[in-house]
Copies of this chain bind each other. A is one copy, B any other.
Amino acid sequence: MKIIKKEADYAVRALLFIAAKNERVPASAVYSSVKAPRSFMRKILQVLSREKVLVSEKGRAGGFRLARKPEETSLLTVVEAFGGRKSRGGCPFDGRACGNYGFCGLREKLGEIEERIFEKLGKTSLKNLLRREDEKKKDYKDN
């Protein structure tokens, strides 16, 4: 069971990095911090930009910055940017005939579960994640 794919995972890490910087950051800086393959990360940033999660500027002093405040971008947004919500309803058949015409308790149940996942992803913002990590680091220092 895989909630998000590597693409989205790298994306989140990249976003956290950019959020922490709080200024325009070039892709090169991102993939030297987040340990992702160069080309792959570039593509990921482009997707985030196309999907309006990031705003980019071209040219020499170009780079990426968050399109919104960290508390306004959720994991769900990121997951959706990479097509993570397209196969809806928890049904591997996408609601097409599956021998269980009309009613399907299983599909219903899986749909419910899926909704909860989306709900939780939707409620987790970049800010939440940043805070979590800060607290952990603090804990560490305290010991």
| A residues in contact (CB < 8 Å) with B | 1-6, 9, 12-13, 16, 33-36, 75, 79, 84-85, 87, 90-93, 97-100, 102-106, 108-110, 112-114, 116-117, 120-121, 124, 128-133, 136-137, 140
Complex contact B109–A1 (CB within 8 A): no
Q: Which residue of A3, A5, A137 has the most chain B CB atoms within 10 A of its CB atom?
A: A3
Query: What is the count of identical protomers in the complex?
Result: 2
- Which residue of chain B lies nearest to A100 when distances are taken between CB atoms in the complex? B13
Q: A75 — nearest CB in chain B belongs to which residue?
A: B109
**A132 in complex: contacting residue of B2, B34, B35, B108, CB < 8 Å:** B108
Closest 3 interchain pairs by CB? Answer: A35-B99, A105-B132, A105-B129
